[in-house]
Homo-oligomer: A and B are copies of this chain.
């Protein structure tokens, strides 16, 4: 499951949230598309109040936006918006590297290395289109964020990943496959092993710039 839903008392709202979220990520609701409460209530099988709650929660995550006097729509993906999210991703992930390079144990680094190797192998095989690659990719970056112990960094990165899923629902990155270096993720592991926050941060920044150049 790409979507993580918190335990919550709002069960109808949860149902609407998951269903609408899924429709957005699978492209059934397209970026820019207007979200009509009554129609969504019919599709999700709940009343309009939980639909409204769900839309507000999706708005808080940044994948739905409200337009004054117009209602809500799926956030349209513009090049500017993608660059904007990459600037935030750089801020968050560089901070993650700075923190964990001083605190990870050798065993924790070895665990991350397995994920890094698997990701690099999949990228080299051109096997990056399926859900497995994206789940693994987010898992590696989210594990690193969780190791900081800072919920604010974890939540921010989770939100960025959701936006990237939305982006993926619209664009394919296949045309850039040949530009990916063999150690695209392993270089992060090498950086962590230096135990130097400045080096760790710079290698992450390069890693992100590389993805950014693929937009």
Contact = CB atoms under 8 A, between A and B. Distances in A.
B84 A151 contact: yes
Interface size, A (range): 20 to 34
Given A9-B68, A66-B9, A153 B88 contact: yes
Interface SS of chain A: helix
A57 B61 CA distance: 11
B8 A87 contact: no
Interface of A: 7-10, 49, 52-53, 56-57, 59-60, 66, 68-71, 83-85, 87-88, 90-92, 94-95, 99, 148, 150-153, 156
26 contacts: A8-B66, A8-B68, A9-B66, A9-B68, A9-B70, A10-B66, A49-B49, A56-B56, A56-B60, A59-B60, A60-B60, A83-B150, A84-B150, A87-B95, A87-B99, A87-B148, A87-B152, A87-B153, A88-B95, A88-B152, A88-B153, A91-B91, A91-B94, A91-B95, A91-B153, A94-B95
